[in-house]
Each structure stands twice: as structure tokens, then as C-alpha cells.
Structure 1
Amino acid sequence: MNLPWKQLAVYFSLVLVGGGIGGSAVLLGSPYLLTRSRSFQELRNVTVTSPTETVFSHPIRGSIEVAGNDKVNFVAAAVQRTGPAVVRINATRKVANPISDALKNPLLRRFFGDDEQQIPQERIERGTGSGFILSEDGRLLTNAHVVANTDTVQVTLKDGRSFEGKVIGIDTMTDVAVVKIPAIKLPTVKLGNSQNLIPGQWAIAIGNPLGLDNTVTLGIISATDRTSAQVGVPDKRVSFIQTDAPINPGNSGGPLLNSNGEVIGVNTAIRADAQGLGFAIPIETAARIATELFTKGKVEHPFIGIEMVDLSPSKKQQINQENRLNITQNAGVAIKGVLEKSPAEKGGLRPGDVIQKVNGKAVKTAAQVQKLVESSSVGDILHMEINREGQIISLQVQSGSYPQK
């Protein structure tokens, strides 16, 4: 088949550009929406304590009518309680058109005359995610990546009603966002407790995978306190719940439920290569972040500025060799690096110190230290007990606010 030179040039440009984006293009620029994905950016890990105050309520509105026979099990009952409060979120945004940029290349422009129709510099991308209703007046929680780079989204309820939602705030470090829709007397979820989860307990996920509304999947809690580094998303400050309940693109932002239908986590499809593995943000973390976003519009994360590592005999030897340190312990939390002009440096922490306690609580892993730091507020004094070459030293470190990029 013979093709005109100009058409061949367009095909050629598509091949060149496709070589860079074909395998990793994602809807909405996010690795979590619908098809073709890529993993997160990078960051650290952390969990948060339960909020003492919230700006939303979480009652179960209405009665649950469950037939009195063995065909209606606990999963069906849990879904009936929570399903009406799970929503679909459709987001659209403009992104740069790579074809337009590619055709600016003089080698490609030679095939086109000045009278050729210009290729748009921007294109519209669309994606679908999930969310759930926190309060009767329309406050929703979802993942940050679902609504990133857009001010408004389309929110569709299970009963078919649709509203334009306003994105109130986004926290990329925990991947939590909040949205408000103009409605009242809405069905709401009931928040549970993820602090005492045990592997083997039931886990129920509800969401809109691949745009299939109110899809329910069932599994168990596979593990808890998975650090961001373990999960492969070191740019997030979250200790994840791991489940084998299938969580697919489009599930992002939907609730993970316990057997009573209470929300224990926020599903996030963070690993495209995960087979039989799903991850969720603990509800205590998500609820605290949501409260701050609704009240302040932003979140400040406590920060001290150290690089930590869990010690083992082999890790100790490696760190000592690479960093010219003299760590003697075979277990514990070693400080591998201290940022210049950071709260840690100002407080007297040094590379090679091994953290024993934070605010009087013994710590054995970097994840425990991170949790205790994150559970504090910016400006709090952290009392740290460290082992420095066999000598126990007490230091005070005033946490700062995590630097914004």
C-alpha cells in the first residue's frame, strides 16, 4: 500500500513518540486510573494516629434489610450497609500533547507545509476512580492521584444521581484527597479501626474497577504495617494494609471494609505488577489527613531529617564500610544520614547513632520511629534516647515541617 509522504511523516512521528510513551501512557497522568499503568514516584513511609476531632460524622443512615436466611452472608450485609455511600469519580484534565511537541522537530516539519492544520498542543485525558461519603452534607474521601491536577470532578452515586464535585484539598505524601458535592441527607460510611488488624481477618473491597460500578471483591488481611519502601512507593508516608482482595485500577479511593461493613482502609492500586496483592491506606491516617484538608486546605507533615535503616549483622557491616561509621549493635534503628540544617542536625543527632527510644517508647524498627514522628505535630519536642558508640545519650529534637517540593 502506497501512502503519501505527509501521512508517512505522521506515522513516523507517532513511532518516535510512541517509543517513549507507548508502554507507559496512563489516563489522567496517573498510574491508578483505568488502563496502562506505571508505579508511583518516590518517598518515605509513615503512619498516623487516630484523629481526636473530625469535621465529619460517620453514622449509618437507615436500617439494613437483610433476609433471614443463610443465602445472605456477612459480605452481603456489609455491602448493603456501605455500598450506597461508595461513589464513582470521573476526572478530566488537559495535558501536553507529545505529538505536537514532536512535530516541532525540524526533521519532521520538513514534510509539512505552513498551511497544514496545526496539531493541538493539549489533549484531554479522562479517568475513573472511586471514593466514599463521609458526611450527610457531601464530604467525600478519595485518593489524591484520582483527582490530581483538576479543580472539579463528576461524582456519581450508586442511585444514579450525579453531582459536580469540588476538590477541596490534596495531600500527595499520603495519597489522600477530599471532595465536596452540593447535596444533603446522603448515605454515609461508618469508620472502623485498623490499629488492631490481624492477618487472616476478612477484607471486603468496593469500588469501580475498569469503570464497573460498585464491584465487590473479597479476601483477607494479608499483612499490616507494610512500609512505603517495601511496597515500592518510597515517596509516600504511609504504612499500608496488605490484602489479597483484588484491587484494580478504578478501585483507587474506594473503601476496604471489615466483616462488619466498617471502613478500615482506603484502597489504592499502586502496583501494576502486583498479582494477588492489594494495598490500602489505614483509615486512621486517611481520616486525620481528610480532617486537616477540610479545615486547612493543606497538611503539614512533621519532619526531622534523618535517613534510617534497620540493623542486622550484614547491614551493620555494610553501613560501617560505606559510611566509615563504627556501629557495634547488630539490631536496632541506625541513623545512616542527617540532612544539613535539619531539625535532627540542630538537635545533635549524628550518623552512626542508634535510636533506642522516642518519647519514652522503645523502638526496634525505622517504621516505628517514623510512626512516632508522624503522630506528633509540627513544632513538637521529640525526646530521643540514642546509643552513640556504646554511650546512652538523651537529646531533644524539635520537629519541623516537611519541605515542600
Structure 2
Amino acid sequence: MSQSEFQSDFPRSNRGWRASLASVLLGASVATTGAYIAWNPSSPLRQQAQAQLPPTTSVTPVQNTQNVPIRDPNFITGVVKDVGPAVVRIDASRTVRASAPQGFDDPMFRQFFGGRIPQQPSQRVQRGVGSGFIVSQDGRIITNAHVVAGSDTVEVLLKDGRRLQGRVVGADPVTDIAVVKVEANNLPTVKLSNSDQIQPGEWAIAIGNPLGLDNTVTAGIISATGRSSNDVGIPDKRIDFIQTDAAINPGNSGGPLLNDRGEVIGVNTAIRADAQGIGFAIPINMVQRISEELVSKGTVQHAYLGVQMVTLTPEVRQDINSDPNSGLQVNEEQGVLVVRVVPNSPAARAGIRAGDVIRNVNGQNIAEANDLQNIVEQTSIGSDMQLQLRRDGQDVNLTVQPAALPASNADEQG
């Protein structure tokens, strides 16, 4: 403390000094009186004080009835020990057939170059590394569809060092989920959570094999839920993603995203190349539904309308109306704008047109393209969907029956 600070703590006038002294003296007199009463039991003052006290009552100690758990600072270590043995590395290989560059098969080319034409290999093997996790003791494994897509062989490496040959039971490119089976028993398994209950701010732990670095653990929080495939940048998928800042890199694909109790809440699947600290996982509730259908049927059927659509905002409306090549003039300010209708699709057969603005489906108001996509995904193939839309300033009601999504139209939004 400097001299000026030290001096400022003292009274600056005799009056203040005297007041301070009076306070000290008053305190001393009270303390002295109290000491006298306590020292002399027969004093009149003590007897008078006792007469004024309320009757003595028993005091019950206050107990903690909330039972608030104390967080173990090493809880992530415990999660990794419990779940780590059930997380696997998946090595997939596929044969890619290559052809000579266009024109090299031309006889004139060969006559000119003779035997100096470079010989292109007829085929080559591509290898990829991903992650997965075991959900049954008899060897059922969940991973991403893109990890095993087109693979000729799948090899599964367990944390204990065992290498097992895997067989792809089924893969669904629309939701990017695949099921792999290995022949083994008594394997370690994970526990699954309810992804509908997770909230932003909760813990998120990722285990996988990023960049071939086996058994890598990263941690963070749930940054957001319900991120649409358009938000993530992969509009051909029909997923509401979990967003996390737990580090996810190539090779993490197919691995589990866990909560603080070591339960799987999602399957790590995507990152944004233009950002850091942003990764995405498929909610485990959707994964369970898709994987069960893959096991029972080998494939998954998705309902399909045959439209490309966009959420209508004032900015979108202005961009479309000011673009002479759009071929559309939009008068509505909100809803889901149909940008294109696939020929011979259910939407085309029902009379839906480009430029229509869908406002209500089956009595449910919709404001975003993702809302319509989710409704279509949950609708049974062949069942009726009642659409209310705006066309040229008029209300139009249509009935459309979704069909099964053709493989060639997997990039359509609805």
C-alpha cells in the first residue's frame, strides 16, 4: 500500500476521530457488561436477562435433501475406459477400374505414338479408414455409409488388437448409416441414449480414429441441435444433425458421440471445411430406426415427392424476382417455395408446379423447407398428404401420395 493509500484509511478530522473512538468505547462497555453477567450468576442483571429469554427448544440440524452429485473431475477418463473397448477401427478397400484417357484408343493415336503410349493400370485399390461402435455382443457394428460405400472388403480392428473380417449388412446413403457384422461373441458393447432429450451446453465426447490415429478422444459440448442438412452443406441427406465443438476429423466418421454418462447420443459424420470447431453427428434415435430396418430388410425406403424447394424469405424472394433467368415471380413472403418439380414424380402427378408456395401439410403449418422434408420422411409410402399452397395469389389444395425414393433421385430434397 502506498503512503497516500495508507493515509486515506484514517479519519481526516478530529470529529471523525472522536466518533471512531466513541464506537470503540461503546463496544467495550457492551463487552464488559456481558462479561459481568456471565461471570456473576446471582447478579440482578443476569436474572433479568434470563427471564426475558424465550423457552429453550431443541434444534434439528439442517440436512441436504437435494443429494446433489459431485462431479468427478476425471469423468471423461471413466467414460473412455468403459466405452473405448467397444469402439472399432474400420478399414475398407474398394477396387476402382481405370481406363485410358479419352482418345488413346483411337487407332490413329496408336499409329502415331506406336508403343510409347503410356499404359494405364486397368484397376487400382482405394483404401479408407473410419470408425464404428459395437451395439451387440454377437458383432453388430454401426458406422457411416460413406465409410463402407462400394467396398470389396471390410476389416474391423478391435482395441484389444484383434482383426476381424466384416460384412456389410446394409447401407443407407440418404441418412449415411450402415451396419457391419463380424463373426464373434461376447464382444464389448455401448449403451444408447435418447437423443431427443439432449440440450445445447451438455458434455460431448468423441472417440474414433481421426487421420488413422487410433483410439483418439476429444471432448467439448453440444453446440446446437436440429441443424438441417442444408445448414451443414449436404442437402442430399435427410438428417437433423447434432452440432458439437468436440474435435472431429476425417477418420472419426462412424464413431460415437457420447454424453457424460458414456451413452451414445450420435454418430460422428461430418465437418465444415470452412470452419474450425464445428462438427456434426447423426442423432442416435434416427440411427436406431435406420439400422433396425437395414438389419431386417437390407435396405431402407424413403418417401419421395420429387421437388426441389427453398425456405422463402424476403431476401430469397428479392433474389428470385430480380433474376431474369429464374423463370419465377414470387408474390408470397413466407412458406416453402417449390423451385423445381421432377418429371413423372408424385409431385408432378399431383399437379404441383414450380413457383408454388407450400404453407400447410396435413393441417400443420410449415415455414421452412426442413419442416416439409421431415414430414415427408416420416410419411408412409403411398399414403395421402394434404397440401395447402399459394399459387398466383390464390389458395390451392392438393393431395399427393409419396413414392419410394429412387436411387437415381437421392439428391432430391423431398
Q: Distance in 2 between matches of 1:176 and 1:273?
A: 24
**Structure 1 residues 185 and 245: CA distance shift in structure 2, 3 A:** same
Q: How does 1:28-43 map to 2 (within 5 A)?
A: none
The one-letter code of the counterpart of 1:383 is Q
Post-superposition offset of 1:248? 0.9
* TM-score (normalised: structure 1): 0.74
Matched residue, 2:382:
379
Deviations 1:175-197 (A, max 9, x none): 21111110122222222222343
* TM-score (normalised: structure 2): 0.73
Matched residue, 2:229:
228
Post-superposition offset of 1:170? 1.6
Which of 334, 339, 344 is matched with 2:342 structurally? 339
Q: Distance in 1 between matches of 2:364 and 2:220?
A: 34
Q: Given that residues 103 and 109 in structure 1 are in contact (C-alpha distance below 8 angstroms), is that contact kept between their aligned partners in structure 2? A: no
If each structure's helix is expressed as a fraction of its own residues, which one has the higher value? 2
Q: Distance in 2 between matches of 1:108 and 1:263?
A: 63
Post-superposition offset of 1:234? 2.5
Matched residue, 1:132:
133
Matched residue, 2:316:
315
Q: Distance in 1 between matches of 2:382 and 2:280?
A: 31
Whether 1:89 and 2:93 are equivalent positions in the alignment is no
**Structure 1 residues 342 and 219: CA distance shift in structure 2, 3 A:** same
Identity of aligned residues (%): 53
User: Gaps (5+ residues) in structure 1?
Assistant: 1-67
Post-superposition offset of 1:70? 7.0
Matched residue, 2:372:
369
Matched residue, 1:276:
277
Q: Distance in 1 between matches of 2:327 and 2:113?
A: 58
Post-superposition offset of 1:236? 2.2
Q: Distance in 2 between matches of 1:257 and 1:113?
A: 57
Q: Distance in 2 between matches of 1:70 and 1:214?
A: 24
Q: CA RMSD in A?
A: 2.9
Q: How does 1:2-401 map to 2 (within 5 A)?
A: 73-96=74-97, 104=104, 106=109, 110=113, 120-322=121-323, 323=326, 325=328, 327-401=330-404
Q: Given that residues 151 and 167 in structure 1 are in contact (C-alpha distance below 8 angstroms), is that contact kept between their aligned partners in structure 2? A: no
**Structure 1 residues 163 and 326: CA distance shift in structure 2, 3 A:** same
Q: Given that residues 319 and 336 in structure 1 are in contact (C-alpha distance below 8 angstroms), is that contact kept between their aligned partners in structure 2? A: no
**Structure 1 residues 394 and 73: CA distance shift in structure 2, 3 A:** farther
Q: Given that residues 92 and 152 in structure 2 are in contact (C-alpha distance below 8 angstroms), is that contact kept between their aligned partners in structure 1? A: no
The one-letter code of the counterpart of 1:132 is F
**Structure 1 residues 297 and 101: CA distance shift in structure 2, 3 A:** same
Post-superposition offset of 1:160? 1.9
Q: Secondary structure at the match of 1:223?
A: strand
Q: Secondary structure at the match of 1:195?
A: helix
Post-superposition offset of 1:156? 1.4
The one-letter code of the counterpart of 1:361 is Q
Relative contact order, higher structure (CA 8 A, sep 6+): 1
Q: Secondary structure at the match of 1:291?
A: helix
Q: Distance in 2 between matches of 1:347 and 1:103?
A: 46
Q: Distance in 2 between matches of 1:368 and 1:196?
A: 19
Q: Given that residues 217 and 246 in structure 1 are in contact (C-alpha distance below 8 angstroms), is that contact kept between their aligned partners in structure 2? A: yes
Q: Distance in 2 between matches of 1:139 and 1:391?
A: 53
**Structure 1 residues 81 and 385: CA distance shift in structure 2, 3 A:** farther
Q: Distance in 2 between matches of 1:91 and 1:307?
A: 34
Q: Given that residues 101 and 121 in structure 1 are in contact (C-alpha distance below 8 angstroms), is that contact kept between their aligned partners in structure 2? A: no
Greater displacement, 293-302 / 388-397? 388-397
User: Gaps (5+ residues) in structure 2?
Assistant: 1-68, 409-414
Post-superposition offset of 1:250? 0.9
Post-superposition offset of 1:225? 2.5
Deviations 1:89-121 (A, max 9, x none): 1112222357x659958589948569x9x6642
Post-superposition offset of 1:308? 1.5
Matched residue, 2:406:
403
Q: Distance in 1 between matches of 2:102 and 2:398?
A: 56
Q: Distance in 2 between matches of 1:145 and 1:337?
A: 28
Larger radius of gyration: 2
The one-letter code of the counterpart of 1:299 is V
